Amino acid sequence: MPEQSEDAILCQAAQGDGEAFGALYERYVGRIYNYIYYRTGNASDAEDLTARVFYRAMRHIGNYRDRGLPLSAWLYRIAHNLVANWHRDNSRRKEIPLEDSMQGHFTGSHPETDLLQWEERERLMRVIYKLSSERQQLLILKFVEHLSNAEIGQIMGRSEGAVKSLYHRTLLALRDEYENL
Amino acid sequence: MKRAVKSVLKDTSQDFSEFESRLESALKPVSPPDQFVRELRQKLLSQMEEGKRGKKLSTKNLYLLILTGLLSLVLVIATALRLIVSLLLGLKLFSRIRNSRDKKQADQST
């Protein structure tokens, strides 16, 4: 369904059209997976939670009403709630397993440079995982999903200015923590 | 003073841009495994189909429930009518017996 608008597809999906829901799924599965992957730190939990997000979305898509909140924001909120529950259940933040964290970051041309980059990335990730859930969410939406402050605000239920201010404070905290590590 | 504040701000923004580029390279998007994406799509679609079938079944059940309800109502009305008719007939019989008894008593007295 490439030529149809998202609203039309959403309407069809809400009426139980499987193909329409499939089209929405394909549009967002990568973004939701990315978000959950960086929030949980491992691929298997990311797969499990991504599946749960879409099952929940499928069950409640009939109740979804466009109240100025795009579908993506609705999905991110479902993902955010599930990740929060996951963290509560696990009660401790997980470190990224080695094979997962190295995934896609080795170019293969200069092993030493790659290793240095990987070590720096590991340090940075360790600091990021020490941040509050809200700040982690902000960083992932900004750097992984490349969303604007306005879009992030819609997802987080904050104003654009509040997001900007939170971002500034997050960078300051992150830099201080990184330098003290 | 102003110049000092400006230079601090400039330094901070420069630090941030360097730090932001570090974050940019650390937080690279990853792709979900193709097999996972394909399998999840299939599972979602098949569950949606099952849900649809379930809905159809429940509509059928609803119609069946309405029909059973209507039949029960008819049965209750018919029973009530039979009761009324039986009562009326009973009353009629009772009055007939009474009349015949009164008639007998009147005949005996004459």
State which H helix or E strand residue A130 sits in: none
Q: Smallest Cα–Cα separation from A36: which of A144, A132, A142, A123?
A: A144
Q: Looking at beta carbons, which residues of chain A come within 8 Å of B26?
A: 120-121, 124-125, 128, 143
Distance CA A101, CA B26 (A): 10
User: Quick one: pLDDT band at residue A121, thresholds 50, 70, 90?
Assistant: confident
Q: What is the mean pLDDT of residues A92-118?
A: 62
Report pLDDT for B72: 96
Chain A residues near residue B15 by CB distance under 8 angstroms: 175
Bigger pLDDT: A137 or B51? A137
Taking the alpha carbons at both ends of chain B, their separation in whole angstroms is: 141
Residues B39, B44, B49: CA angle, nearest 5 degrees? 125
- Asked if B49 reaches chain A (Cβ–Cβ under 8 Å), the answer is yes
Mean model confidence pLDDT for chain A: 85
Closest to A63 (Cα-Cα) out of A50, A85, A78? A78
- Which residues on A lie below 8 Å from B19 (Cβ)? 171, 174-175, 178
- CA distance, residue A172 to nearest chain B CA (Å): 8
Domain ranges of chain A: 1-93
List the single residue in A47, A125, A143 with the smallest CB-CB distance to B36: A47
Q: What is the pLDDT of residue A98?
A: 44
Establish if A131 touches chain B: CB-CB under 8 angstroms. no
CB contact A48 to B (< 8 Å): no
Q: At what angle do helices A149-156 and A71-90 cross, to 10 degrees?
A: 60
**At A108, is the secondary structure helix, strand, or coil?**
coil
Chain B residues near residue A117 by CB distance under 8 angstroms: 25
Collect all residues with Cβ–Cβ distance below 8 Å to A149 and sequence separation of at least 6. A160, A163, A164, A167
The Cβ of residue A142 has, within 10 Å, a number of other Cβ atoms equal to 21
d(CA A77, CA B96): 83
B55:A33 CB<8 A: no
CB–CB contact B41 A120 (8 Å): no
Which CATH number describes the domain made up of A1-93? Answer: 1.10.1740.10
Q: Does the CB of B70 have a partner CB in chain A at under 8 Å?
A: no
CA distances from A37 to A78, A101, A136, B10, B98 (A): 15, 10, 12, 35, 95
A50 lies within 8 A of chain B by CB:
yes
Task: Write the DSSP symbol of residue A19.
Answer: H
What is the complex's ipTM, to 2 decimals?
0.78
Would you call A160 exposed, middle or buried from its count of C-beta atoms within 10 A (0-12, 13-18, 19+)?
middle
A122: left (phi over 0), alpha (psi -120 to 50) or beta: alpha
**pLDDT per position in chain B (110 positions), as tens?**
555 555 544 555 556 888 888 888 888 889 999 999 999 999 999 988 887 777 666 778 888 899 999 999 999 999 999 999 999 999 999 999 999 988 888 888 87
Secondary structure of residue A158 in the 3-state scheme: coil
**Minimal CA–CA distance to B51: which of A4, A13, A116?**
A13
Instruction: Give the up-direction half-sphere exposure of residue A14: CA atoms within 13 A in the CB hemisphere.
Output: 13
B44 with A16: Cβ contact below 8 A: no
Whether pTM > 0.90 for this model: the answer is no
What amino acid is encoded at B91 in this protein?
L
Q: Considering only the beta carbons, identify the residue of B20, B27, B45 that sits closest to A38.
A: B27
Distance (Å, whole) CA B101 – CA A79: 91
Min distance A181 CA to chain B CA atoms (Å)? 15
Using a CB–CB cutoff of 8 Å, tell me whether B58 touches chain A. Answer: no
